[in-house]
Amino acid sequence: MASAPPLETAGPGGYPQPPPYEEPMMNPHPQYPQGPMPPPYSYAKVPQCPYPVQSQSPPVTGPVVSVQTIYVQPGVVYGDRPVQAHCPVCAQFVVTRMDYSAGMLAWLSCVALSFFGCIYGCCLIPFCVDGLKDVKHTCPNCNNILGIYKRL
């Protein structure tokens, strides 16, 4: 009698061998990373701070410049010619009157002439030449001194 050999495939209480779980280990996408594991996405490595840290307060544009209104007569240059200026005393625009006075240049010219031998009255010539004197600009109305032009 040939009895069928008992199949030993699955005996009583014999559990089929579970397939080896290697697929989860080979899984490139771990669902739940455990612990401080480095992220598997190397391309997603974000640099710490690609931009320079900016200060919280915006840069100050600059100190506040307080504009002071200083009334300066524009273009009034006191030279050796009468100029039109505004007299603050009589509050009028006048043409200055020139008064010549011996200034530094006249005295230096006198000393220079004396040094070269012109001691007999010739050294006084600079005091007679208006081109060597200082010019004092005065107001023709109130004789207020508006400016002095010094040659030295």
Residue 85 or residue 123: which is nearer to Zn ion going by CB? 85
Residue 92 or residue 114: which is nearer to Zn ion going by CB? 92
144 is an interface residue for Zn ion by CB under 5 A: yes
Interacting residues of 90 by C-beta distance below 8 A, sequence separation 6+: 139, 141, 142, 144
73 is an interface residue for Zn ion by CB under 5 A: no
For 94, the enclosing helix (H) or strand (E) is strand 92-95
Structure token digits, residue 117: 């031998």
95 is an interface residue for Zn ion by CB under 5 A: no
Least distance (Å) between residue 145 CB and Zn ion: 10
Total residues contacting Zn ion (rule CB under 5 A)? 7
Question: How far, CA to CA in Å, does 20 sit from each of 8, 26, 104, 112?
Answer: 21, 12, 116, 122
C-alpha–C-alpha distance, residues 15 and 69, integer Å: 104
142 is an interface residue for Zn ion by CB under 5 A: yes
Residue 106 or residue 138: which is nearer to Zn ion going by CB? 138
Q: Which residues contribute to the site for Zn ion (CB under 5 A)? A: 87, 89-90, 139, 141-142, 144
